[in-house]
Structure 1
C-alpha cells in the first residue's frame, strides 16, 4: 500500500462540508440500522450536502468519484491512520478494482465529531501476483519474516487468536474464574488436567446428577453419563437436574440438555444402557443385546480416565469394577444408606504380572468388592431410601476425592491416608474410604487392602477374564455361583448372605484402620 497524500479533514473540506459531514455522522451513529457499522462511504455533493451510505450500496453506484470518501471509525494515533486502513484499502482494491482509494479516518472527541483530528487521504494498493490462488500466502503484518542469521527461508505464521472475543468463550472464562482464584492461593492447581479429564459417570440418579454438576464446577468438560432407567415423578425432587417435563424420558437423555444449560462448553454424551450384573441369567433372545452392552461398556471404560460408580444396585457395579481393575483406571464409588454413606476410591489394578503390589511397590488398595465389604452391601441395598441431604454430602466428597487423586503425584497408586495424619498435599488428605453417619455427625477414614478372594479385582478373577474375555462375563452372569466357586468364597465359613442382617446404619469411629 502506498500513501499518495494525507491531511487533516479540516484542511481538505470547506466549512459547509464540515458542518454537513458532522451532522450526517451523528445521524449515522445514532441510527439503529447503522450504529454497528464501522465502515461506510461518504458522498459529498456540489452543494456541500453529505450523504453517508453502507458499503453494500456501492455495487450499484455510479457518479463523481472525486467527491467520494471511504470512511471508517479510527482509533489510531492522532497523526497516522489506524491499522484497520490496511485491510480496508486492500479489500476495496482487490474486491472492487479501485486503483486509488480516497479515505476518511473518522474520529470523535467526547462523543462529538472531531474533524481536526480526522484524516482524509489517498492511497493505492497494487494487487500482488497470484493473490487469488488457493495457496497464496500474503506478506502482510501478522507474519514473521526471516530473522538475521536464521537459515530458514519459510515464513512463520503468527495468527491472532480471536477466540477470547467469542461470547461462549467469555462465558466459559467467567465460569472457571473461581478455579483461577483458587490457583492464586494454590499454584499447584492444574486447570488443564481437570479440563481434559474424561469422566465416565455410571448412574444418572440422585448421586449421578450431583456428581456431574460438581465435576463441571471443578472444570471438567468431558463427560459420559450411562443409565438404563427413566425419570419418574418422585425423581423430580430427589434428583437435582430433572424437571417435570422429563418424566418418562430416559435419564441418560434428559440429563444432557440440563448439563449443557449450566455449562455450554461441556462435551457430554448420554448413553441409555443396562449394565450387565452377575448371577442374573439372561435368555437366549437377550444374549446378543447383553453382549453388545458388555462390549460398549468395555470401550467406554477404556476411553475414560476416571469412572464413577453411582448405580442403584450393588451388583451392577461389579462389571465396571472389574474393567477398571483390568485397565488400571481410577474408579470412585459413592453409596448412601438411610442415614449413612460410603465414598471410596479403588486401588490400582494388579497389572499384567498379577502382583499383589502396585507399580510403585505398595500393597494394592482394595475395591468396593474386596473382603465382601459388609458396610457397602448394606448401604447400597437400601440406597433408594435416604435422608434428603445424604446424596449431596456423598457426591461432594466423591468429587473432592477425584480432584485430590488427579493432583497427587502418585495418582491411582497413592497410599491411603487416615484422619489426623500430616500431609503436604495442598488439597488435604487422600483417604481410601470415607464412611459417614448423619445422626452421629461423624466421619471415619478406613484403609482396606485388596483381597485374594475378591470377585472383581483379585488375581484369579482377572486372570480368567483376560484369558476368556466375554465368555467369562457370560459365565458370571448366567451361573449364580460361578464367581463364588472361582474365588473360593463359597467354602468360607462367613457367607455373604449374613451381611444382609446387619443394621442399615453402621458405627463410625474417627481414624479407624480396617484390618482387611
Structure 2
C-alpha cells in the first residue's frame, strides 16, 4: 500500500536502517593497506559490502564488510545483495574528528540522486545502496603479559623496532593497545589494558642492527647464572602430592568453578571408630584432598576385618592383631605420604559402663576423657562411626559443648542413617536454650511442612528423638546382636555419603548453621554448587532408596539439651562419672524424660511409652528406636 504524506487517514511508512557489521578480516586488510599501500594517502577509496535477507527473526538488517571489501571485482556471497561505498581513512585522530560529516553525506546523496535522475540506477540498482565509511586507523595491538600500570611488557619492544624500520618515513607515531585479559573474582576482565602513543624514531630501512639487550639478571640483580634446585621435582613424595589433587582441580576448572577446595583440604577430621565405616570414610576424605585425619579406636584387627575394612591386610591380624587406630593411620601414610594421619588406641567411656571399681579404672577414665576433649578441641569435624549407641554419647556431648560439626553414620542390616548434628550457637551471642521444645514424635508423623527452613542451630542430634537414655546395649546379647551385621556394600555407601555431607556443609556460606534441605527440595535450586545440604540421609538398600528427613532439636535430649550441656560444663568429669556409673535413669531424670514417661503412661494407661519400640537394625544391636532413623 502506498503512503500519502499529509493524509490523516494513512500512517507514514517507516524504514529500518542498516547496522554496520565490520568483520575482523576487514580491519586486518585495512591495516595492511594502510601500512604498505595507503600510508599518508587520505584520498577516498572504493570498497564493497553486501547485505542478506535470510537472518533469523530479531536480528538487525546488517551491512557487512569483510576482508574482500577492497576488491571491487570480488564475487558477492550467495543469496546476498552487493552494496558499493567509499572509504575515507584519516591519518590522525584530529583529522577524523574534524571531517565534515554533513558534507560527506550530502556528496553521497548527490551521487545517488544523479544515478536516479540519469537512469543509471535502472541499469545498475546497486547504485541505490551506496554507503560511506569514515575511519582513523593506525593502532597496533599487543597481547601484553605485563601487570604494571605504567609500562608494557617485553613483546612490544621488537615490534616497535619493526614499525620504526618499515613505517617511520610514513608515520611519526603509532597508537598502541596493550591488551590484558585477566581473571578477577572468577570473571574475565580487560579493563586494566592500557593505550598510549609512541613516537617512532627515524630508522627507515637502516642496514645496521640496533644495540641488543636482554640477559636476565639473577636473584641478586647481577649478570650471573641462576641456580635451579630440581631435587623436589624428582622426589616421589612431592610428585605424589602434586598429582593427588588432579581430579579436584579438574572439577574446579569446568564442572564446579565456584568450589572452595581450601575449605576442604584444610579441614581437620577426627574419626571415632576405625572399623568398616572408619576405613571407608578415611579413603573418601583422602579423595577429597583432606590432609589431617585422626583415628580413635580400642580394638585390634581380627581375621574377619581385612575383607570389609580396606585399610587392613592379612598380616595385620597376626600375633593377636595390630591396634586398629595405629594401623589405619600408618596405612594412610603409605597410601599417600603427604597426609598427616595419627592414631590413638584408647577407649571412650560410656553411659551404663561403670568406672568406679578401682582408682586405676577411675584415673584411666579421667585420662581418656581428657584426651578425647583435647582431640575434639583440636579438630574441625568429628565423625561418629562406632558400633554402639552409648559410645557416641560422650563425643556428642563434648562436640556440642565445643561447637564442633558432627557427622554421624550408623548401619543396620540393609538400612543406614547419615546425619549432621545441630551446631549450637556460641553462648556469647545470647542464643539461650537452643534446643526448643517440640512434640516427642517421629519427624515422619509430623509431616514435612513443620520441618521446612530449619537452620542448623535448631537441628537435632543423634539422640534428640530418643525417649530412652543410652545404656549398656551389649549386655546379655548374642554375637550377632553385639556386632554390626550389614550387607557388605552398606558401609561403603554410608561412609561415602558421610564425607559428601561434610563437604556440602563446608561449601555452604553458613557452614554448620545452614538450613537443612529435605526430600521436598530435590527439585528446587540447590543452596551450594554441590547441591543440597540435608540434615539426615536415611538409606534403604533393599529398595535402593534414600530419603532426606529433618528433625528439630529436643529440649529433653540426653546429649545436646541445655540441661546436659550446662551440667557437663559446670561439673566436668564429676558429672560424667555419674552418667557412667548409673543406669539410664540418671540422664532421664535430669532431662525430664522420666516425667515424660510418667505422663505418657498416665495418658495411655500403659507402662511403655508409645514412642519406644525395639529396633534390631539400629547400630547393630537391639535397643529402643532412635527416630533419627
Identify the TM-score tier after normalising by the shorter chain: 0.5 to 0.7
The normalised TM-score by structure 2 is 0.53
Deviation, 1:170, is 1.5
Unaligned runs of 5+ in 2: 1-216, 436-453, 474-479, 601-607, 620-626
Q: Does the CA-based 8 Å contact 1:325-1:348 persist in structure 2?
A: yes
Q: Does 1:479 align with 2:582?
A: yes
Deviation, 1:440, is 1.4
Deviation, 1:207, is 0.2
> Are the structure 2 counterparts of residues 476 and 144 from structure 1 closer, same or farther at C-alpha, using a change threshold of 3 Å?
farther
The 5-angstrom pairing of residues 25-424 of structure 1 reads 141-143=218-220, 163-164=232-233, 166-184=235-253, 185-247=255-317, 248-282=321-355, 283-284=357-358, 285-352=360-427, 353=430, 355-357=432-434, 364-372=458-466, 384-421=484-521, 422=524, 423-424=526-527
Deviation, 1:469, is 1.2
Give the distance between the partners of 1:471 and 1:225, measured in 2 at CA.
Answer: 26
Q: 2:539 aligns with which of 430, 436, 449?
A: 436
Deviation, 1:161, is 9.6
Deviation, 1:320, is 0.4
Deviation, 1:257, is 2.2
- Range moving further from structure 2, 231-240 or 183-192: 183-192
- Range moving further from structure 2, 417-426 or 391-400: 417-426
- Aligned residue pairs total 355
> Are the structure 2 counterparts of residues 491 and 395 from structure 1 closer, same or farther at C-alpha, using a change threshold of 3 Å?
same
Deviation, 1:504, is 3.1
Q: Does the CA-based 8 Å contact 1:337-1:382 persist in structure 2?
A: no
> Are the structure 2 counterparts of residues 256 and 373 from structure 1 closer, same or farther at C-alpha, using a change threshold of 3 Å?
farther
Helix, strand or coil: the match of 2:296? strand
1:449-474 deviation per Cα after TM superposition (whole angstroms, max 9, x unaligned): 11100111101111111111111111
Q: Does the CA-based 8 Å contact 2:535-2:550 persist in structure 1?
A: yes
Helix, strand or coil: the match of 2:350? coil
Give the distance between the partners of 1:473 and 1:213, measured in 2 at CA.
Answer: 33
> Are the structure 2 counterparts of residues 425 and 173 from structure 1 closer, same or farther at C-alpha, using a change threshold of 3 Å?
same
Deviation, 1:424, is 3.8
Q: 2:566 aligns with which of 460, 463, 466?
A: 463
Give the distance between the partners of 2:510 and 2:228, measured in 1 at CA.
Answer: 38
> Are the structure 2 counterparts of residues 180 and 486 from structure 1 closer, same or farther at C-alpha, using a change threshold of 3 Å?
same
1:65-114 deviation per Cα after TM superposition (whole angstroms, max 9, x unaligned): xxxxxxxxxxxxxxxxxxxxxxxxxxxxxxxxxxxxxxxxxxxxxxxxxx
Deviation, 1:488, is 1.2
Deviation, 1:502, is 3.4
Helix, strand or coil: the match of 2:557? coil
Deviation, 1:329, is 0.5
**Counterpart in 1 of 2:530?**
427
Deviation, 1:448, is 0.8
Deviation, 1:166, is 3.6
Deviation, 1:420, is 4.1
Helix, strand or coil: the match of 1:449? coil
Q: Does the CA-based 8 Å contact 1:435-1:445 persist in structure 2?
A: yes
Helix, strand or coil: the match of 1:456? coil
Helix, strand or coil: the match of 2:344? strand
1:355-394 deviation per Cα after TM superposition (whole angstroms, max 9, x unaligned): 3449x976511110102189x999x977610001100010
Deviation, 1:160, is 8.3
**Counterpart in 1 of 2:594?**
490
RMSD: 3.0
Q: Does 1:501 align with 2:614?
A: yes
The normalised TM-score by structure 1 is 0.64
Helix, strand or coil: the match of 2:407? strand
Give the distance between the partners of 2:316 and 2:609, measured in 1 at CA.
Answer: 38
Q: Does the CA-based 8 Å contact 1:340-1:438 persist in structure 2?
A: yes
Q: Does the CA-based 8 Å contact 2:415-2:541 persist in structure 1?
A: yes
Deviation, 1:351, is 3.2
Deviation, 1:496, is 8.1
Deviation, 1:222, is 0.5
